[in-house]
Structures are given as C-alpha cells and as structure tokens.
Amino acid sequence: MKEQSFFQLSQDAVNQLAERYGTPLLVLSLEQVEKNYDLLRTHIPQMKIHYAMKANPDLRILETMINKGSEFDVASDGEINLLSSIGVSGDRMIYANPIKTESGLQACVEAGVTRMTFDSETEIAKIARFVPHATVLLRLRIDNPAAHVDLNKKFGAPREKAMELMLKAREAGLDMAGIAVHVGSQVTTADPYLHAFDVVRSVMDEASRHGLDLRILDIGGGFPIPETGVHYNLTAMLDQIAARLSEDFADKEIWSEPGRYMAGTAQNLITKVIGVNERNGQVWYFLDDGIYGTFSGVIFDQWDFKLLSFKEGRKIRATFAGPSCDSLDIMFRGKLTEPLDVGDLLLVPVCGAYTSASATTFNGFKKARTVVWEEVRKELGLEQQELLSMAV
C-alpha cells in the first residue's frame, strides 16, 4: 500500500516562484489533495468523505473535492452559501456544527441541507422549526486528552444523556439517524477512534432496545499530517480503523469529516526575511508573513511550523516575528535555524490547514497570494520535487 506523501518545493522552485510572484506566497498542489483523498478511500473504502472545509476553503480545493466525488462538512451560512454558489447541492453537505445560528438554519432551508448534528435539547426545537424531519446525528462526547486540539471540551453530549436526547429528537419529528463523534485533531494513533467506537456501540445497542434503529456512524475528522518530532504510521492507523468498522459496524453507513489531513500536506508557504535585529543578546528575524497572516495557526491551531532556509552554517536559536507593529506578532522563540540575512527566503512545507483559513489583513498587510503548483510549474518549466515519506 502507498504511504502518506507531502508536497514540498525544491530550492530552485522556491527561488523562481518568489521572483516571479513575490512573497509571501502560498503554493498549492491540487494533485496532492487528490492523493490525500485517494489514500483515505483506498484504506477505508466503506467510508464516505465529507471535507471539513474550515481547514482550507480555497475554491480550487473545493472544486478538486467536488470532482473527486467528496461531500462537505459545513458549519455556517457562509460555508453553505459558498458551496451553493459553486453548484454543490445541499444533499452533499452535513451541517456538523452542534450549535447552529438562525442564519445557518435559514441557509439550510435555501440550499436544501437536511443532514445535521446536535448535542443539546435546545437545538432539537431549533432544527425542527427550520428543517422539520431533518436527518440528525447525535454528537457524542468522547474524551481524548491526547488530541492536539481537544474539541470535546466544547462539544458533545455525555454518554448518559444520549438516550434521552435521541428520544426527544424522535418525538420532535426528526429523523434520528445516527451518532457523530470527533475525537480531536491531529490524532496519531487509532486508539481514540477505537475507544470512541466502543462508546458508540453501546449507545447504538441501547437505542435499538428502545426501538430506535441508528443507521449512520460519523467518525469525524482528526487524521494527521507530518509534524516536527511526532512519529506515526498513518496507513496502519487507517487499516486498524477500517478493520474495526467492518467488524462492528458492517451494517452502518460510515461517514467522516477530514479537514487537516486533506489540505495540510498540499500547501507550501514562501516567506522572506525583511529585517534582522539583536535584542538582549537574542537574534530576531522579521518575516513578511506573521501571526496575523498564514502563521495564524501558531495561535489558533497551536502548531509549530517547520522553516527550511536552504542555507548552511551552525544553527543558532532565534526569535521569528511577523511584519505588523503588534507585539503579539511573534511566531517562534528560541527556534533553531541557520543564520539568516535580509532577503533570504524560507520555505514552510505542510502549511495548508488552519493557516490561510484564519489569516487576517490586520495592520494593512495583504493575505499571502495563492498559486497552484500544477499551473505555475508549466509556466516556469519546473519539475516537481516531492518527498514520498514523512520527514519528521
């Protein structure tokens, strides 16, 4: 079986792209997005994929996913309307935000979205009012303190309230169809999924004793991408999940909502050193992209990005800051790097998820422009350089 791959530009490509398009520059590989989709399909063939577009809503990624036959996990009216505007029908979306706004539910009515999740009693009446007979999944809380970002702190009904909530949903006329879990993000072993499946199994058994036949298991997202200092075996993990799904949930529809995994490995950032300073004996490098831009993932996603300089020299520890005038705009302190000069380019691979998606234009700095590798490489006559195994 194929292993997880990621897209990484060569030094030559970085130099030529920076010269042609300027920096900061995001370079997106749609072929990599396709590979990510195909690998997941190969290893868990029974699982329907709904791309969690919040990870990276770039239109070209959405179009690639549409062509692959993917469906979508949406969380707001904005996401629903964006997909509608490019021709995605509502029956290819799940509104997977357990707490929905009225404008979000109104968008469901207009777009024909009828599948959604809930984890509280107040949501049942809200859903029934806008979308009577909606197909709903109960989002179950699964504690996973090992997750990179533990979303179960915010969402999910406790196990002991599951039955009561499901019966109330049925009473309200909703199509009480299944269970949704999301075990966290950047999950690097199958264990949290397998643990979640135990809990789901017991809920489904209890439900059938109450005459409620649940037909859908939505296993959420969380699949990992290469990260500094973290070792994992994606394909082994997916195979374990697939085996367990076949054993225990063979008669259920299996849904998933991967975000980070689909987009993370498909995008590189090229950023430039625009200033060097020494403060209290520490070297500071100022880059043309920062916390308010593509590196917003440092804060919102608690992510430690890898910086490649293509330079030689004994490594030093330095502070990396962004271009804005705000003192919060510092990405890394004490980060090991080759010594750098003004004008040097840095490549940030594995930079496609929770990066550009949460970038702002604070202080008047434009968001990094995105070019598609498969388009620009022809123009520049460049070869694709790709590393086929995880480099961590």
Contact 301/149 with Cβ under 8 angstroms? yes
Structure tokens, 390: 């995880």
Please, which residue, 73 or 344, has the CB nearer to ligand PLP? 73
**Is 141 near ligand PLP (CB under 6 A)?**
no
C-beta closer to ligand PLP: residue 218 or 344 = 218
Q: 16 or 256, CB closer to ligand PLP? A: 256
Q: How far is the CB of 144 from ligand PLP (least distance, A)?
A: 12
Which residue number is nearest to ligand PLP in terms of Cβ? 221
- Residue 25 near residue 269, CB atoms below 8 Å: yes
Q: Among residues 11 and 233, whose Cβ is nearest to ligand PLP?
A: 233
| Residues 363, 325 contacting (CB under 8 angstroms) | yes
Residues 31-90 that bind ligand PLP (CB under 6 A): 52, 54-55, 73
Which residues are catalytic, by number? 325
Question: Which residues is 369 bridged to in the sheet?
Answer: 25
Q: Does the protein bind ligand PLP through residue 234 (CB under 6 A)?
A: no
Helices assigned H by DSSP within 249-361:
260-263, 297-300
Alpha helices in the chain (DSSP H): 11-21, 30-43, 59-68, 77-85, 102-111, 121-130, 162-171, 191-209, 234-248, 260-263, 297-300, 373-380
Is residue 260 part of the contact set for ligand PLP (CB under 6 A)?
yes
CA atoms in the 13 A half-sphere facing the CB of 300: 18
Residue 28 near residue 61 (C-beta atoms within 8 A) = yes
Contacts of 355 (CB under 8 A, 6+ apart): 56, 267, 269, 294, 295, 296, 297, 301
Select the span of 26-34, 36-44, 216-224, 315-323 touching ligand PLP (CB under 6 A): 216-224
Residue 259 near ligand PLP by CB under 6 A: yes
- Tell me how far the alpha carbon of residue 371 is from its chain's centroid: 20
In angstroms, what is the minimal distance from the CB of 188 to ligand PLP? 12
Contacts of 303 by beta carbon, 8 Å cutoff, 6+ apart: 227, 297, 354
Does 258 sit near ligand PLP (CB under 6 A)? Answer: yes
Q: Is 115 in the site for ligand PLP (CB under 6 A)?
A: no
Among residues 16 and 64, whose Cβ is nearest to ligand PLP?
64
With CB under 6 A as the contact rule, the residue among 24, 90, 178, 222 that binds ligand PLP is: 222
Whole-number minimum distance, CB 233 to ligand PLP, in Å? 18
Q: Does 261 bind ligand PLP (CB under 6 A)?
A: yes
Per DSSP, 27 falls in state E
Q: Which positions from 176 through 195 interact with ligand PLP, judged by CB under 6 A? A: 182, 185
Q: How far is the CB of 98 from ligand PLP (least distance, A)?
A: 8
Interface with ligand PLP, residue 131, by CB under 6 A = no
Cβ proximity to ligand PLP: between 182 and 377 the closer is 182
* Residues contributing to the site for ligand PLP (CB under 6 A): 52, 54-55, 73, 96, 151, 182, 185, 220-223, 257-261
